[in-house]
Every structure is written in C-alpha cells, then in structure tokens.
Structure 1
Amino acid sequence: MRRWLIEGALAVVALLLGSFFLATTLSEGDAWPLWAELAAGLVAIAGLVLFRRSRPVALTLVLIPFGLLFGMPMGAAPIALFAVALYRPARVAVGVAAVHAVSLAGVYLIALGPTRVYWESVTFMVLLDVIVVAIAMLVRSQRQLVRSFAERARQAEQGQQLRLEQARLGERERIAREMHDVLAHRISLLAVHAGALEVRREAPEGERAAAGVIRQSAYEALEDLRQVIGMLREPADDRPQPTLADVPALIEQSREAGARVELELGAAGPVPAGLGRHAYRIVQEALTNARKHAPGASVRVAVTGHAERGLVVEVDNALVAGGPTLPGAGAGLVGIGERVQLAGGRLEHGPTTAGEFRLRAWLPWTP
C-alpha cells in the first residue's frame, strides 16, 4: 500500500512538471496537438510507475528523446533520473545525467539557436538534473547508513547471544568436570569395597561372586565416565575442587587485591561437598562482577542456611555512578544462573532501593 501511495505521488509530481513544461511550450507556439501531448504524458507516467524501480536506466534513456519531442513527458524525466541515482551506482547516474544534458543542449541549440532563451532553458534543465541527482545520492547514502547501523546492531546482538551461550556452555562444562571428579571418587570407593568383599575368604561364594560383579561393573562405569566426561577436563585443571571451606581464602585474595569485602558464614552443620562447591563458584563470580562494575565499592558476602531451609548465598555491593568500570557482556550472571538452575535453586539479582546491587541465590541442601 505504501509503495503505491509513493508511486501515485510521483505520478502527480510528474504530471505537474509536465504541465509546466507543456505550458512553456504552448507559449512559444511550437507544441504538438494537445491530445498528442496528453497521450505522450500518460505513456510516460505509466512507464514511470511500472519501471521506475526495476529498470530506471532504460526508462530514463527512453524518456530523454521522448521528452525532447513532447512537453508532457519532460516532467517524468527528472523523476526517472532520480530513480537512477537512487538505485544504481553514482557513475551510472552521472553518465545518464550527462547524456540528458548533452542531448538537451544539442536539440535546444538547433531549435532556438544561441539565444538568451536557449541559455536560460539549458541552465535550468541542467541545474534541475544536478539537484535531482544530488538529492537522490543523499537519500541513497542515508539508506545505506541506516542499513549499516541495523547490520551492526544485528551483529552485536548475535555476538551477545553467542557470548551468553558460551558462558552457559562453559559453566555446564565446569559443572560436568566437577561431577566427574565426584562420581569418579564414589565409584572408585564402591569398586574398592566390592573388591575387598570379593577377596574375603569367610564370605559365602555367592556374595563373593556378586561382589566381583559389582567391582567389575564399577570399573566399567568409571571407564565409561572418563570417556564421556573426562574429555572436558582441561590439561591444567587437575587441582582439587573448592568447597565452602575455601570461601574465606577467596575473600582474602580479593582483599589483597584492594577490595573491601565483609564475610559472614552462618551455615549450620557440615555442608555437602557439592553444595559448598556451588556456593564457592557463585561467590567467586559475584566478586568478579563487583570488581568489574563497581570497582572500589564495599562488598558484603553472606552464606547462611541449614539442612531444612537450604543454603542462601547473598552478595551485596554499593552501586558506583559515573565511576570507571571494566567491560562486560553480562555472561557472569548467565553462568551463575545456569549453575543455580542445574542445582535446582533460585537466583535473584538487581539494584535495591538502598542504592546497592544484590545477588541472592538459594540452593537446596542435597547431599
């Protein structure tokens, strides 16, 4: 609908320009019959509506001699030239405009001679072509600029999505490596105990056979686990996995780096290793985000809970307005959310009314 409205408006403009040129021709007394002029004008406008976008160069080259013979088609020629400069390269538009100017100057020189009217007419038409081509090039440049901005925005959005997916994948791989260590340890213990039961002489033959089956199955399961998940382990990732007991050392490292961090550990009872590992990673990533987005701000870390209510990890830091911040893509919070979701917990984060940024994660107390 919008396209046809534009085409209709351009047809009206071409009709008005053609009427102006026809009136000028009639005043000079050398015009064709009025019905011939109107028919030529309708044909030119029809060609403008049908071929302005698809074949602007051919349309303009047809309208140039057509407009030199009749007055009405001259109104469609500048609009066709505008389409050439809008949809084709600049060199093509300049070449077509030059053809129009040379043809016009030659025909007018034969018809009028080197008179004042000739120079005025040629100057007017050449200036009209220059203005039309210049405006079309400006519109073309503006459209290209808008398209480039849209493409950059699309690429930036795709890059952000890629970074978020990489963060999720990295967090899942790290969790998989941690689970590999935990499961490998437990399966190894199972195999050891089964092997001990198998070699006990006082045990019945049936129990020793069952223990042998359990030991062999445990070894096979351990080997399968290493083949499936062990490939995720990085070459330098052979250190033991952290637990909740390592959080004070992590806080101390942040303090040595210049951060002001307060720690509150209020977990009642021994925390399961897997749960403590999740809490450690959440605190670690939250401290990293605080250093990036609120450098120099005080940070409060609280890890509280018990077996009945679960474990709660809270990290608060003051918001820094106008201060220097390190660039970030928001992948840290995505990684924390991925870990909390896989652990079956809940995550809340955002600014508070007290002018702080709060991150609160609840994790179920599972062994």
Structure 2
Amino acid sequence: MNASTVTGAQRCSARDWIVDLSMFLLALAYAVTTSLELPGASPPGVEFGPELVPPGPPSTWFEGAGRLAAFLACLSLWWRRRWPVQLAVALVLVSVVFPLAMGAMLIALFSLAVHRSPRTSLAVFGVGAATAYLHAVLWPDPHLPMLVTVLLSVAIQGAVIGWGLTVHHRRELVESLRDRAVHAETEAQLRAEHAQHQVREAMAREIHDVLGHRLSLLSVHAGALEYRPDAPSEEVARSAKVIRESAHQALQDLREVIGVLRAPVGELPQPTMADLQQLVEEADEVGARVEFAEEYTGTVPERTGRTAYRIVQEGLTNVRKHSPGADTRVRVRGAPGEGLVVEVLNGPSPEPPPPTAGGGSGQGLVGLAERVSLASGRLEHGPAAGGGWRLSAWLPWPV
C-alpha cells in the first residue's frame, strides 16, 4: 500500500466520521426542540389506569422514557450504514410511540434510500406510511384533521425517501461514468499499443525492403572474393567497387529510413515505377542477367507503383541469395481497369549459392504478402516449370 492509498483511506474515514457526527447532532437537535414544544404528559387520548400508574407523576415517567428513547435513536445512527434496513424499520416503529425519535427516523430512511436498492427503500416506506395512521391516533393534532396529519406525515417520509433515491441514482451514475472512463482509457491504451505494433511492423518491412537489397549485393560479392582468391585483379577490383558502392548506398538508404521515421506524414520518400529501370540495371551489373519488359500504358498510381517496386526488389534479392547467376526476367504489364501484373521469373542457378548468402527465414515473402494485401492485391510464388522460381502479383489499377 503506497502513501497515496493511505491518505485516501484516512480522508474517507474522516469524512464519514464528520457526516455521522452531523447526523447525530441534527437528530438530537430535533429531539431537543420537539421536547420543548410538546406538553410533558402522556399521549393525548391515552389515560393510564390506576393499576398502570407508576410512582410519581405519569407525565414525568413518560417524558423520561421518551427522551431516553430519542437519545438511543440518535445514538443508533452511527450504525446506519451497517444495518440500514433493520435500523430504519426499528426507528419507524419507535417513532410511533415516541415522537422525539422522528428526526432520527427520517435520517435513517434517507440513509436507507442512499445505500440500498429502491425496492427495499419503498418497502420500508410502505411500513412507515402504514404506521403514520397509528401515530396520528396516538398523537392527534388539535389544529389539523387526522387525514391531513396522516397525509402530511406520509408526504414528509416520501420526500425524504425520494431525496435519498436521487442521491442513490446519482452515485450509481457517477460510478458508471467512472467505469466508462476507465474502460475508455483502457481501450485507448490498447489502441495505442496496437498502433505502435503496426508502426513497428511497417518499420521492419521498410528496413527489410530498403536494406535487404543492398546487403544481398554485399553478401554475394564478398562471398565471391572469399571463395575465389585467385580471381583476376580486374574482377577483384570490380567486385571491390561494387561492395564499396553498395555499402555507400546502404548507408544512404539507412539515412533515408531514419528520415522516414522522423518526417511528418506525407513527406516520406518512396520509390515509384520510374525507379524500376535503375533497380534492374543495378542487378544486371552484378552478373544476374536480368531481362526487363514493360508492357503497360498510362500512369500507374503512386501506391501501386511503390508496391510493384518492392515486389521486384524482393524478387531480385531472393534471386541473388538463392540462385546467383540465374537468368531472370522481370515483366510488368497491365492497363487501367485491368490491374497491374508484376512477375519475376528466374531459371535454375548455374552454381550453388555461397554459404554466406544464408538460407533465409522467409520473412521477406511474408512481409511482401502483407504489403500486397494492404494494396488489395494478390501474391503468388513457388517453383517454376523447368526449375527456378516464380514470383507474381496482381495489383489493382483503377480507371
């Protein structure tokens, strides 16, 4: 338990103590004020027989009993939260005989309506309304008819019960709003976490797409230099140049990715269909023998072109990893209204891939499938006839 919890508990206990003391003093003030107004005698219309007359004047005996009952009734209000129903019923019955306890009875009815269900409160109110007639019989008002006295007593009890029910429903409403606020805060936190998770996935896809292509070039050429140390100096220099340029470009791509993470929405540098030719030329420079065919007319939408670029990039990266030196064909065809078809087809590799290339985890195709799905397209991949591998995707191209 931390310090704030202890402080809150102390504050709540102090508040309850102050409220209980206020209710006790209020009921006691009512009893004292009423005792000064009532005549010090037995209830009007009730005469004690000779055999029932206690020692001393009857008025003194009954007045003392009434004051004691009123004090005990006021004192019992300290336990109104623990036994609200029992206390309210008891005080309703006691106030029939001893009017000085009516103040405590009204407070008990109010507390009952606040802390218990409306059905229970109305049931006790029915008991109070029934005893109002008995009270009017025992304590008739010389200035008002009995019916008016009964109706006035019922109206006062009803007003107190109604006030308590209003407080009860208000507390339920506040609690419900508090629960809704907590629930909404939890949902907002979950949505934020989900959004962060999606952002992380998008970042992982972007880093894989951008850096995977460059790093695969480095891996292929570094592996060739490692396993062919007797290669001609011109070939070694050419491979070293490619490694240097690819490493430099990888650094540039990494800076762009970091810039993407820092840039506002709408300012993200992304590749387009116009960059496909350069991508194919870079792959062709490292001996992949890539044939490129563009068979479409019109302007490809930006999102579709960006997805097509990533498909070709992932396809060429996989060719270098798993089928180095294989003949590869990249074909892009389509038209507005028909869609755009992107196909990367490679034949069997003339030589086994270097061990430095690794077997791959398949996460590139998983991320690519998700990217195509987000673009409302379809992705197909698998072994091609006669050996090799085929990667094909259809992307929507609205009119």
The TM tier, using the shorter chain, reads: 0.5 to 0.7
Residue-by-residue CA offset, 1:240-278 (whole Å, 9 max, x unaligned) = xxxxxxxxxxxxxxxxxxxxxxxxxxxxx9981122234
Q: Is the 8 A contact 2:129 2:154 kept in 1?
A: yes
Amino acid at match of 1:157: E
Cα distance, 1:45 vs structure 2: 1.5
Mapped partners of 1:287, 1:143: distance in 2? 50
Mapped partners of 1:110, 1:41: distance in 2? 17
Mapped partners of 1:156, 1:42: distance in 2? 49
Q: Is the 8 A contact 2:23 2:107 kept in 1?
A: yes
Q: Is the 8 A contact 2:211 2:254 kept in 1?
A: no
Report the TM-score, using the length of structure 2 for normalisation: 0.48
Mapped partners of 2:154, 2:131: distance in 1? 11
Mapped partners of 1:67, 1:86: distance in 2? 21
Residue-by-residue CA offset, 1:324-351 (whole Å, 9 max, x unaligned) = xxxxxxxxxxxxxxxxxxxxxxxxxxxx
What corresponds to 1:89 in structure 2?
117
Bigger Rg, which one: 2
User: Is structure 2 residue 74 aligned with structure 1 residue 45?
Assistant: yes
Amino acid at match of 1:158: T
What corresponds to 1:127 in structure 2?
155
What corresponds to 2:29 in structure 1?
16
Cα distance, 1:197 vs structure 2: 3.1
Mapped partners of 1:278, 1:91: distance in 2? 65
Shift in CA distance, 69/109, structure 1 to aligned 2, threshold 3 Å = closer
Mapped partners of 1:80, 1:119: distance in 2? 25
Of 152, 155, 162 in structure 1, the residue corresponding to residue 180 of structure 2 is 152
Cα distance, 1:9 vs structure 2: 1.1
What corresponds to 1:99 in structure 2?
127
Question: What's the RMSD between the two structures over aligned residues?
Answer: 3.3
Of 251, 254, 257 in structure 2, the residue corresponding to residue 277 of structure 1 is 257
Shift in CA distance, 199/279, structure 1 to aligned 2, threshold 3 Å = closer
Q: Alignment partner of 1:272: what SS?
A: helix
What corresponds to 2:19 in structure 1?
6
Q: Is the 8 A contact 1:25 1:71 kept in 2?
A: no
Shift in CA distance, 93/114, structure 1 to aligned 2, threshold 3 Å = farther
Q: Alignment partner of 2:39: what SS?
A: helix
Structure 2 residue runs of 5 or longer lacking an equivalent are 1-13, 44-58, 232-248, 269-399
What corresponds to 1:138 in structure 2?
166
What corresponds to 1:292 in structure 2?
none
User: Is structure 2 residue 64 aligned with structure 1 residue 35?
Assistant: yes
Residue-by-residue CA offset, 1:155-194 (whole Å, 9 max, x unaligned) = 3333333333333322222222223334533553344224
What corresponds to 1:162 in structure 2?
190
Structure 1 residue runs of 5 or longer lacking an equivalent are 204-268, 289-367
Cα distance, 1:25 vs structure 2: 4.5
Report the TM-score, using the length of structure 1 for normalisation: 0.52
Q: Is the 8 A contact 1:86 1:136 kept in 2?
A: yes
Mapped partners of 1:139, 1:201: distance in 2? 90
Q: Is the 8 A contact 1:21 1:74 kept in 2?
A: no
How many residue pairs get matched?
A: 222
Mapped partners of 1:114, 1:25: distance in 2? 12
Shift in CA distance, 123/113, structure 1 to aligned 2, threshold 3 Å = same
Q: Is the 8 A contact 2:141 2:149 kept in 1?
A: no
Residue-by-residue CA offset, 1:122-161 (whole Å, 9 max, x unaligned) = 2221111011011112222222233333333333333333
Mapped partners of 2:206, 2:228: distance in 1? 34
Shift in CA distance, 128/287, structure 1 to aligned 2, threshold 3 Å = farther
Identical-pair percentage? 32
Mapped partners of 2:138, 2:65: distance in 1? 23
Q: Is the 8 A contact 2:97 2:138 kept in 1?
A: no
Q: Alignment partner of 2:195: what SS?
A: helix
Cα distance, 1:46 vs structure 2: 1.8
Cα distance, 1:27 vs structure 2: 6.0
Amino acid at match of 1:42: F
